[in-house]
């Protein structure tokens, strides 16, 4: 029988969040490029899209996007610290700090948007 305890470790969760946030950000890029392309093709089309982004669902998605960006950045910095500083005994603390920073950035963004 397989032991699942390593998958419940906070560093494994940090690994999963880092990979999932990267994947979700990569899926967002085509939409982002499409919107930028609409800015080139016509001002009215871009203006219509920008008006649509004023709805609460778009604001929530925007906040989630910022949290994903912050989580991916914080996770990447954690991985770089592992590469350059070596394995530390306080990996759980590093995971908690990176998660806290990501959520704090999202909260600050949300409070600024609202």
Domain that holds residue 79: 10-113
What's the number of domains the chain is made of?
1
Separation between Cα atoms, residue 64 and residue 58, nearest integer Å? 10
For residue 5, is it within any domain? Answer: no
Q: pLDDT > 90: what percent of the chain?
A: 6
Contact by Cβ (8 Å): 13, 95 = yes
Distance of CA 35 to the CA centre of its chain: 20
For residue 66, is it within any domain? Answer: yes
> Model pTM greater than 0.75?
no
pLDDT in tens, 49-63: 888 888 889 888 888
- What CATH number is associated with residue 93? 1.20.1300.10
pLDDT of residue 26: 92
For residue 48, is it within any domain? Answer: yes
For residue 67, is it within any domain? Answer: yes
- State how far the alpha carbon of 98 is from the alpha carbons of 54, 61, 73, 84, in Å: 30, 21, 9, 17
Separation between Cα atoms, residue 70 and residue 100, nearest integer Å? 10
For residue 2, is it within any domain? Answer: no
């Amino acid at each position: 029988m397989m032991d699942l305890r390593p998958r419940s470790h906070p560093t494994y969760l940090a690994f999963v969040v880092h990979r999932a946030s990267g994947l979700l950000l990569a899926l967002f890029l085509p939409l982002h490029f499409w919107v930028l392309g609409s800015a080139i093709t016509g001002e009215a089309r871009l203006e219509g899209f920008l008006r649509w982004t004023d709805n609460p669902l778009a604001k929530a998605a925007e906040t989630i996007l910022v949290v994903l960006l912050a989580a991916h950045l914080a996770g990447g910095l954690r991985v770089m610290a592992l590469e350059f500083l070596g394995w530390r005994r306080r990996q759980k603390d590093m995971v908690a700090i990176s998660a806290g920073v990501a959520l704090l950035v999202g909260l600050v963004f949300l409070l600024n948007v609202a």
